Amino acid sequence: MEKQLTGTLALAVFTAALGSLQMGYSLGVINAPQKVIERHYARSLGVYDENLSRREGGNATEHEEPSDPSVVMYWSLSVAIFSIGGMVSSFLVSFVSDFRGRIKGMLAINVLAITAGLLMGLAKMGTPYLMVIAGRAIMGLYCGLSSGLVPLYIGEISPMKFRGAMGALHQLAIVIGILISQVIGLEFLLGNDDMWHVLLGLSGAPAILQSLLLLLCPESPRYLYIKQGKVEEACKNLKRLKGDYDTSKDIAEMQAEKEEAMKEAKMSIWRLLRSSVYRQQLFVALMMHFSQQFSGINAIFYYSTSIFQTAGVGQPVYATIGVGVINIIFTLVSVILVDRTGRRTLTLVGLGGMCCCAVAMTVGLAFQDVYSWMSYLSMTAIFLFVSFFEIGPGPIPWFIVAELFSQGPRPAAIALAGCCNWTCNFIIGMFFPYLEGLCGSYVFVIFAVLLFGFTVFIYLRVPETKGKTFEEIAAVFHHKRGAPPSKPQEEAEMVQLKSSTEA
Domain CATH number, residue 87: 1.20.1250.20
Kindly give, in sequence order, each residue whose CB lies less than 8 Å from that of residue 357, ignoring residues fewer than 6 positions away: 381, 382, 384, 385, 388
Please, are residues 353 and 346 in contact by the beta-carbon 8 Å criterion? no
In this structure, the answer to whether residues 185 and 301 fall within a common structural domain is no
In this structure, the answer to whether residues 205 and 304 fall within a common structural domain is no
Please, are residues 357 and 384 in contact by the beta-carbon 8 Å criterion? yes
In this structure, the answer to whether residues 284 and 355 fall within a common structural domain is yes
Please, are residues 17 and 150 in contact by the beta-carbon 8 Å criterion? yes
pLDDT at 312: 65
Please give the residue range of the domain that contains residue 94: 1-47+67-217
Domain end, chosen from 217, 243, 258, is at: 217
In this structure, the answer to whether residues 428 and 359 fall within a common structural domain is yes
Q: How far apart are CA 400 and CA 411, in angstroms?
A: 13
In this structure, the answer to whether residues 210 and 275 fall within a common structural domain is no
pLDDT at 4: 65
Q: How far apart are CA 66 and CA 59, in angstroms?
A: 13
Please, are residues 190 and 360 in contact by the beta-carbon 8 Å criterion? no
Residue 258 domain-assigned? no
**Triad 117, 109, 90: Cα angle to 5°:** 105
The count of domains in the chain is 2
Residue 74 domain-assigned? yes
In this structure, the answer to whether residues 342 and 424 fall within a common structural domain is yes
Residues in the chain: 503
pLDDT at 374: 85
Single pTM value for the model: 0.82
Residue 39 domain-assigned? yes
Residue 371 domain-assigned? yes
pLDDT at 226: 86
In this structure, the answer to whether residues 165 and 39 fall within a common structural domain is yes
**DSSP character string of 416-439:** HHHHHHHHHHHHHHHHHHHHHHHH
Domain end, chosen from 173, 198, 217, is at: 217
In this structure, the answer to whether residues 330 and 447 fall within a common structural domain is yes
pLDDT at 61: 44
In this structure, the answer to whether residues 173 and 316 fall within a common structural domain is no
Direct distance between the N- and C-terminal alpha carbons of the chain, in angstroms, rounded to an integer? 40
In this structure, the answer to whether residues 170 and 276 fall within a common structural domain is no
Q: How far apart are CA 348 and CA 398, in angstroms?
A: 16
pLDDT at 72: 79
In this structure, the answer to whether residues 416 and 321 fall within a common structural domain is yes
Residue 167 domain-assigned? yes
Please, are residues 199 and 190 in contact by the beta-carbon 8 Å criterion? yes
pLDDT at 494: 47
pLDDT at 1: 45
In this structure, the answer to whether residues 462 and 394 fall within a common structural domain is yes
Per-residue pLDDT in tens (0 to 9) along the chain, 503 residues: 455 678 899 999 999 999 999 999 998 888 767 788 888 888 888 776 655 454 444 444 444 554 577 887 888 888 888 989 999 998 898 889 888 889 999 999 999 999 999 999 999 888 888 999 999 999 999 999 999 899 999 988 988 888 888 888 998 999 999 999 989 988 889 988 899 999 999 999 999 999 999 999 999 999 998 888 888 999 999 999 888 888 888 898 888 878 877 776 667 888 888 888 888 899 999 999 999 999 988 777 766 766 777 666 777 778 878 888 988 999 999 989 988 888 999 999 999 999 999 999 889 888 888 888 888 888 889 899 999 999 999 999 988 888 888 777 888 898 899 999 999 988 887 777 778 778 877 888 999 999 999 999 999 998 888 877 777 787 777 776 554 444 444 444 444 444 444 33
Q: How far apart are CA 20 and CA 174, in angstroms?
A: 5
